[in-house]
Structure formats: structure tokens, C-alpha cells
Amino acid sequence: MFFRDCSGSVALSPAMRQCKASIRGFLLLRVLYMRLSRYFLPILRENPKEAEIVSHRLMLRAGMIRQESAGIYAWLPLGLRVLNKINAIVREEQNRAGAIELLMPTMQSADLWRESGRYDAYGKEMLRIKDRHERDMLFGPTNEEMVTEIFRAYVRSYKDLPLNLYHIQWKFRDEVRPRFGVMRSREFLMKDAYSFDLDQAGAIHSYNKMFAAYLRTFARMGLKAIPMRADTGPIGGNLSHEFIILASTGESEVFCHKNFLEMDTPPADIDFDDRATMQGVFDTWTSRYAATSEMHDAPAFEALPESEQVSARGIEVGHIFYFGTKYSEAMKAVVNGPDGKEATVQMGSYGIGPSRLVAALIEANHDDNGIIWPEAVAPFRVGLANLKVGDAATDAACASLYEKLEKAGVDVLYDDRDDRPGAKFATMDLIGLPHQVIVGPKSLAEGKVEMKNRRTGAREMLSVDEVLNKLGA
């Protein structure tokens, strides 16, 4: 606006002119950015042989990821868009629950881990590296030590509690056998949050807050995640839940009450600061039977009426832990309490794997033709297909639709490639955008375009205005 106003009468300085030009260039780039002919979407027509499970196959075919080493992947533009959408939801829900984002480094000093005793305990899964000065470093598999170090450096008073710090950052665990694409990779993205409280009651409340936030997070992605009592593994502690989504290709066997599939998730305006409310959420969601095979209690499960038993396979998408003073004690993270005495802080940690979630979402949402993205995480909401590039009327209709959708802030990918209709349909179905707007000379002759719902397959013949209306543009 400012530039348009001054461009007419006022002489611009060279710097201003350059600035204006670069802004115009930026806008132009933004428009071209989502034209398929100018995008980077390396689709594979054939199935890569190494991909055993459907999500891995579809991620490779849809040009979302590329393997660079065993268990190490590059995220291509389409995959990155999904990852970012997931991260955005995770962030919103973490913030809503009172967690605060920071960013810690991937490389850590071994000394930090020697303090907690985990440098030797962690085993070969931890990637150990020496720097040029022969100092022992490591690529972090998790961050309890580092966040505790940061906490103890600054926090001295109980008045600064409770505190929950999180980041979304790449982790490395040198898995013996990475497989299933990004489902079990060595390098993976993790949202890890760490809570600090003065006492156990406070720590339980922090745990419950994350518990509720996780239920909301997964629900927003269209996933029904079931919290299951879990083993704590090398993190330690005695209270822990895994969040599992049911999928036939899941890695673990799970058992639960069928009611989980119908339970309501906490609303957005629930009071995260009210202990009773949070405890209520926790109690409700842990009142029914739910366990992974490691924690399975067969007699208790079989005591349920058979019609209420669900025995299935599941994918772990989140894991939360309350471990008390395991790290704060070893690393001397203490605060002065109201009584003037030093108290060792109570901690918990809370992980979600966004990169794994991408695969899990595909496992839960696909058909023979490809991926079916839930709206909330779709790389683009709308796919606009021009069935006859070069036809003036079709080109004009697409350009107009494209521009209006863009202006309304609708994520749209415009397939303007000079290609056969069949190829475009196949591409759209493969990459799974929720809405397809199909524009060709036949329907256009009647003043209509076709809108197809990827999930239901339902097609409607609509006017351009009706399409814009439906998409909220």
C-alpha cells in the first residue's frame, strides 16, 4: 500500500526503487511457488522396493522424503510442509498448556551426561563423537541433562515454579535396525518438554497438563490416541504413559477398552491451571483398560465383556514420564522453598515425534490411490487441476480461481503442467490433498467446475463462486 501510494508522484531513491522491486519479486515468487510446474515434487510412478509399509511407500512415491543413509532422511518440500503443519499444532497446544519454547543444540558435551551417569548407561544407541580437540561429544538422543543444566543455572526460587520448557529439535538414536522409513529412523524430529516443580503434587499436575495437551494435539490431527500405561525404559521414573494410535501396521500389539474410541477430548478452553480439572481428565482417560503388550494383564483384559475388548496393533506417537528427582538430584537442580530450605526439584519429560507422526497419519489415512490428508495437516488444502493447459477459457478460469484462493489465504497447489488429465488425477490422489478442484473445457462449457472430496470421493459440479464459498474464500 505504502509503495503504491508513493510510486505515482514521488521520485524514489535508488534504494527505495530496489526495495520496491524486490517486494514485487517476492510477491511474484510467492505466486509461482505453488504452481506445480515450478514446484519441486519428484513423484515416483513405481514402488521403491525397500519400502515395506504403506506410509513409507507413499512418502517416497509422493516425493515427501529421500533416504540419504540408513534411517536418515531428507525432507523434500511436500513432506516438509506436512511436518511444519504438525509442528504448528504441537506448538499451539504446548503453549496453551503453559509450556515455553526454547531451542537447545543437537551436539552435547559428554561431561553433562557423565554427571547424570547416563554417558555409560545409555549404550550404543547414543552416537558418540570426538571433536578436533579430542573432547567427547555426542549427538543428543534426548535432553534431560541439558535442560536440567539450563534450569539450575538460572532458577533459584520456588516462585519461578512451575516451569515447563520445550523444544522441537532433531534427535539421533543409533538404532540397530532402522526401518519403515521415518517411522523408525535414526535421525528424527522430537518435541520434548521438561517440567520442573517444587513438590510431587505440583509435578503430577504438570504431568496431567501434558496428558491433556497430548489428547488435544492428536485429536486436532484427526487421530484417536489412546494413553496406555507404559514402561519407563532408560528415562527412568515410575509414572509413564504412551500415546498409541491404532493402525494395522503398528509395531506393537495393544489391548484396550473400546470406549476409548468414543471419548471426548478436552476442549480448547479447559482450565489447564486447575488441578482438579486436570486430574479429572487424567482419571477419566485412565479409568478403562489400556495396555501395550509389555504391560498387558491378560486376566484383567479378558474379564471385560468380549464386545468391549479391542485387541489391535498400535503406533506410539507420544510418551510422557514423571521421574521425580532422578536428574535434579544427580545434577543438583535445587530451589529455595517457601520455608527457606533447599528443595530438589521434581521433574517430568514429555515427547512427541512429529516426523513419526507424518508416517502414522498416512498409516491411518490412505487408500489404494494414495494418501488422504486430514485437513489440519494437509500440505495444501486444495489441489487445482487444469485439465487442458493452453485452452484460453480453462487457463483463465484456473488463473482466476487460483488468485482468489491465494488471496483468501487458502493453501492451494495449482497443477498447471501440460499433461494428460489422467496423470493429473493420479498425482492429486497420490499426494492426497483434501479438496480437488478440477477445471476442464467440458464442464466449463456449462459454467461449472468439478469439486472432488479426496476422502469420500464425492464429486460436485459447482460454479466458481460456489467453490470459493465452500472453501471459505
Partner RNA sequence: CGGGGUAUAGCGCAGUCUGGUAGCGCGGAAGUUUUGGGUACUUCAGGUCGUAGGUUCGAAUCCUGCUACCCCGACCA
Q: Which residues bind RNA (CB under 7 A)?
A: 43-50, 52, 67, 69-71, 173, 175-180, 182-186, 188, 190, 233-235, 242, 251-252, 316-319, 351-353, 355-356, 369, 387-388, 390, 420-423, 425-427, 429-430, 438-444, 450, 452, 459
How far apart, in whole angstroms, are the C-alpha atoms of residue 194 and residue 216? Answer: 18
Position 332, amino acid? K
Cross-sheet strand order for the sheet of 107-109? 107-109, 136-139, 127-130
| Residue 303 CB, nearest approach to RNA (Å) | 27
As given in the structure block, the three cell numbers for residue 145 are: 541433562
Q: Which CB, 117 or 337, lies closer to RNA? A: 117
Name which of 122, 153, 155 is nearest 139 in CA terms: 122
| Residue 78 CB, nearest approach to RNA (Å) | 14
Q: What is the CA radius of gyration of the chain?
A: 26
Q: Which CB, 324 or 351, lies closer to RNA? A: 351
Name which of 276, 281, 151 is nearest 210 in CA terms: 281
DSSP tag of 158:
G
Answer yes or no: are the C-beta atoms of 344 and 325 closer than 8 Å.
yes
Q: Which CB, 34 or 183, lies closer to RNA? A: 183
| Residue 84 CB, nearest approach to RNA (Å) | 17
| Residue 384 CB, nearest approach to RNA (Å) | 13
Q: Which CB, 169 or 369, lies closer to RNA? A: 369
How far apart, in whole angstroms, are the C-alpha atoms of residue 363 and residue 247? Answer: 7
Q: Which CB, 215 or 335, lies closer to RNA? A: 215
| Residue 273 CB, nearest approach to RNA (Å) | 27
| Residue 189 CB, nearest approach to RNA (Å) | 8
C-alpha distance from residue 19 to each of 7, 24, 29 (Å)? 12, 9, 15
Q: Which CB, 409 or 421, lies closer to RNA? A: 421
As given in the structure block, the three cell numbers for residue 246 are: 491404532
Give the CA count within 13 Å in the CB-facing half-sphere of 369. 18
